[in-house]
Amino acid sequence: MHRFAPKAEDHPALHVAIVMDGNGRWATGRGLPRTLGHRKGIDAVQRTIDAAIALDVGYLTLFGFSTENWRRPILEVGELMKLLRFFLRGELKALHRKGVRLRFIGDRARLAPDIVDLLVESETLTEGNTQLNLTVALSYGGRQEITEAARRVARDVAAGTLAPEAIDEALFAGRLFTADLPDPDLLIRTSGEQRISNFLLWQAAYAELVFVDTLWPDFGHAELEAALTEFRSRERRYGAVGGQ
């Protein structure tokens, strides 16, 4: 079976990925500092997690901080890292009680050691939970992920442990950060922008895309439900002819 078109029984739980965009514009439009927009964005994360559980979403992947975001002003990056610490320290036990399993994907080498420790603690504490699989992409870029996977494959070929003829899509996907996750069914971007911005480039090959005008700090249950309704109205053909 083609990895991009899994049978329903293989991955019955819906996987929703979200590019959380618009924090800065939300704040600027109200004459507030951009940092306040990011703080309000944390509230939206909490609402969306609760909404995903209520709407029976099995997997939720959030684009929290990209490799390109490191180029933002130092003070803004510092505020984002502070909010990450606040979220993990303040919400970890609540997420655990709700049955949320936490994973983090991206380049941890660029993150502060105490943040890496928090990521490991969060993953370890919640690894047995099954209510919602929550993945947060931090210091993440889709091209970076694919490049690193290619390096891993190349090292194995050079070492003689992998024959070039054995390389296929499934093997390559197994070298990605998301090796143990199903591909996203639905990718949502907030704020009205219509691009995926280097997010899950390999995995989103056959995802349905929904772009919403709502800025991320205003996103919640109603917006997620509307996106799911739009998703369910579409026919997913995976390259086949409709009706087959």
pLDDT tens digits for range 162-199: 999 999 999 999 999 999 999 999 999 999 999 999 99
Dihedral angle sign, alpha carbons of residues 176, 180, 183, 188: negative
39 labelled binding-site residue = no
pLDDT confidence of residue 7: 38
pLDDT confidence of residue 10: 46
pLDDT confidence of residue 11: 44
pLDDT confidence of residue 90: 92
26 labelled binding-site residue = yes
Q: Which residues of the chain have pLDDT under 50?
A: 1-11
Each as own residue / partner, the long-range contacts of residues 76-82 (CB below 8 Å, 24 or more positions apart, any chain) are 76/34, 76/35, 76/38, 79/35, 79/38, 80/38, 81/111, 81/112, 81/115
Catalytic residues: 21, 69
For 137, phi and psi rounded to 5 degrees? -90, 115
pLDDT confidence of residue 243: 55
pLDDT confidence of residue 91: 93
151 labelled binding-site residue = no
For 156, phi and psi rounded to 5 degrees? -65, -40
pLDDT confidence of residue 210: 98
pLDDT confidence of residue 241: 61
142 labelled binding-site residue = no
Domains belonging to the chain, first-starting first, are 15-141+185-232 (3.40.1180.10)
pTM: 0.91
